[in-house]
Amino acid sequence: MRRSTPLRLSAAAVMAVGGLALVQPPSAAQTTLHRSASAQTAPGDRQAAFAEAAKAYDVPESVLLGVSYLESRWDANAGRPSNSAGFGPMHLTDAAAVAAELPSANPANHHGEGEEDSRGDDSRPLGARKGTPAPEARREAAAPAEIPASLRTLEKAAELTGASREALRADPAVNIRGGAALLADYQKQLGAPLSDDPAEWYGAVARYSGATEADAAKFFADEVYATIQSGAERITDDGQKVGLEAAPGLKKIEKWLEKLGLHRPRRDGVECPPTVSCEWVPAPYQALPDDDYGNHDLSNRPWNQKVEYIVIHDMEGYFDPSVRLVQDPTYVSWHYSLRSNDGHIAQHVKTKDVGWHAGNWYVNAKSIGLEHEGFLGEGGAWYTEAMYRTSAKLVRYLALRHGVPLDRAHIIGHDNVPGTLPSTVRGMHEDPGPFWNWAHYFELLGSPLHASGGPKAQSVMILPDYAKNQPYYYGCDRKNPSAACPPHGSSSIWLRTEPREDAPLVKDIGKHPTGDSLYSVYDHSARANTGQRYAVADRQGDWTAIWYLGQKAWFHNPAAQPTAVPSHGLVVTPKPGLASVPVYGRAYPEPEAYPANVPVQPITPLQYTFAAGQRYTLGLAAQGEYYRAVTFDASKHVVVRGKLKYYQIQFGHRVMFVKADDVTVSFS
């Protein structure tokens, strides 16, 4: 199957993709084993490991705990790397080791590989560039001369502690000692005292971020100190109870930050909260030969069109090469890039303008796109707390400015964006994937996901316990693509044709016209995701069925460990007398709405069936719109707005649209 190609960073090259083999689905016993694997691994006392490491290297324990929380929330992640090649609770980075474990090949950002046209407008496709990898010049620009020091901290920790790199990656206690040694070394290099006072460690904490920008280092340090001030307590992914006692009167001596000598990037004109590190790295709007142009479209949102969506992507690569890619005038664009180590943000396109990122022109014209450093499944397994926090601050800021509701109908993943036509459904992208922690993200947004309604509510919200929910996936290892992915927390659940563990997965005729859904980490054909709301189709014991892509889809939902919660809201069903109604990938106007100089865009149904008796949750109402922007001269751009009304529904893993005149709306 097609999959997103990562833009990877190594000492000499960036890596590309191989195919995935079809593997047999796991048995019920295998699935249960996979779910409980983390509970069977019980390393030593994590709290004691922090105390011992702090004492050994004269680092205040609260500082060590605070830094680790902002990197990993004290999780071990089974020794798997983060999306910026960091390992263990202290996020010690070893990009060289991660690169060495993967075969080298030609790079291509996930926007430039496969079938998806990132602009998503068949009235003006990307032409010869559609679905092709970057040219040689772009490949050379993407490959850095060497791995930066911020992605090689594990090597330094090995030197300081005498521990092996293997132990620093795999053993949480050794990893914590490595982090403590690094903090002490940074403190000494600053000429700061190895003091018991956490206030004196502000500069070393800022240095630990790996940031080269003063604002990014300051944000990281401020978030660490805010965590120490408020305190924290949680059970880690491997069952360790760790706590950080609140220190409300904690001070910080910021003069040590100045001694790091970090630069201050260009911030003029950025649309970011003032509390985060943000710089302006513009995507070029440039005329090209043959009446072409790139790499985005000028607009005047929200005055001409309302922003309805904020789209969450992962880069399938590292930060610096991806930022260089968006500076290519012949290619694609998005509004913001976010760095994993410290949460630093680069803005490329003004939010009034339209980026080419979601693969659906209707969604592009009404969305803001955020690219996060990282990988869906291969090359990294988890996202740092620092990046989650800056992303949430940015999304909350943008949502307030543009009036975007903080729910999963409006804050969507690239994997939730529908295909535009039956022919484009199969090639749509899958990021940010099942390891993006939507529940935690919405907590940081200040809009936590929760149950509403009673136990017999006729709609549910998918809400598994992320750490305990560890579904079987394969495809995380390119050298062995049919091997099972290591157990890891996930936001997704599998959907089956019957209420039993060994039942086949439900089918997606758009993604797999003639075949079955796959257990691949890159295939969401039979998966529902955290925060998504579905209408209940049936219940049987510990199993719940929802309406999904025109069929009943069953998932395990035991009362003792529910994977979904009651959720009230609006649902739609075909109007009486209609055997079925069509579903669409975009909400375009009726033909009569187009002026004479604008070609009528067809309203083409997708290949799915929404039959009488089925119900789907309503996410938002939309008036038919089409943004005509096919020339470099923005004065010729026009918004066509019709009278035709649509409802956005949660039809499968992706959202889709139905005409309001075709359905009846009721309260579930």
Name the 3-class secondary structure at 122.
coil
Tokens of 492: 């997704």
CA distance from start to end of the chain: 37
User: Which of 526, 551, 572 is the C-terminal boundary of a domain?
Assistant: 572
> Is residue 53 predicted with pLDDT exceeding 50?
yes
Same domain, 561 and 585: no
Which residue, 377, 383, 295, is CA-closest to 339? 383
21 found inside a domain:
no
39 found inside a domain:
no
Same domain, 205 and 234: yes
Q: Taking residues 327-336, what's their average pLDDT?
A: 92
User: What angle do helix axes 214-230 and 385-402 make, rounded to 10 degrees?
Assistant: 100
For the segment 74-121, what is each residue's pLDDT rounded down to a tens digit? 999 999 999 889 999 999 999 888 877 654 433 345 555 556 889 999
CATH of residue 487's domain is: 3.40.80.10
Same domain, 339 and 199: no
Q: How confident is the model at residue 134 (pLDDT cuts 50, 70, 90)?
A: very low
593 found inside a domain:
yes
Residue 611 · residue 451 · CB < 8 Å = no
33 found inside a domain:
no
Q: Which pLDDT belongs to residue 147?
A: 78
CA-CA-CA-CA torsion for 284, 287, 289, 291, nearest 10 degrees?
130
Same domain, 183 and 153: yes
The Cα–Cα gap between 295 and 322 comes to 14
The Cα–Cα gap between 357 and 311 comes to 9
Name the DSSP class of 394.
H
CATH of residue 95's domain is: 1.10.530
- Which domain does 552 fall in, by range? 110-142+266-572
Length of the chain: 668
Mean pLDDT of the chain: 89
Q: What percent of the chain has pLDDT over 70?
A: 88
pTM: 0.92
Same domain, 247 and 233: yes
Same domain, 247 and 287: no
9 found inside a domain:
no
142-151, 213-222, 565-574, 637-646, range with the lowest pLDDT: 142-151
12 found inside a domain:
no
Q: Which pLDDT belongs to residue 131?
A: 39
Higher-pLDDT residue of 68, 137: 68
Same domain, 322 and 462: yes
For the stretch 129-143, what's the b/e string if a residue is b when 16 or more beta carbons lie within 10 angstroms of its beta carbon? bebebbeeebbebbb
Same domain, 555 and 578: no
User: Which of 572, 592, 624 is the C-terminal boundary of a domain?
Assistant: 572
Overall number of domains in the chain: 3
Residue 459 · residue 409 · CB < 8 Å = no
Name the 3-class secondary structure at 346.
strand
> Is residue 58 predicted with pLDDT exceeding 60?
yes
31 found inside a domain:
no
Q: Taking residues 262-282, what's their average pLDDT?
A: 91
Same domain, 498 and 417: yes
Q: Compute the half-sphere exposure of residue 15: CA atoms within 13 Å on the CB side of its CA.
A: 25
Q: Taking residues 637-643, what's their average pLDDT?
A: 97
Same domain, 284 and 422: yes
Same domain, 115 and 154: no
For the segment 471-501, what is each residue's pLDDT rounded down to a tens digit? 999 998 878 889 999 999 999 999 999 999 9
Q: How confident is the model at residue 380 (pLDDT cuts 50, 70, 90)?
A: confident
615 found inside a domain:
yes
Tell me whether residue 220 is exposed, middle or buried, using C-beta atoms within 10 angstroms of its C-beta: 0 to 12, 13 to 18, 19 or more.
buried
Same domain, 360 and 231: no
User: Which of 239, 258, 277 is the C-terminal boundary of a domain?
Assistant: 258
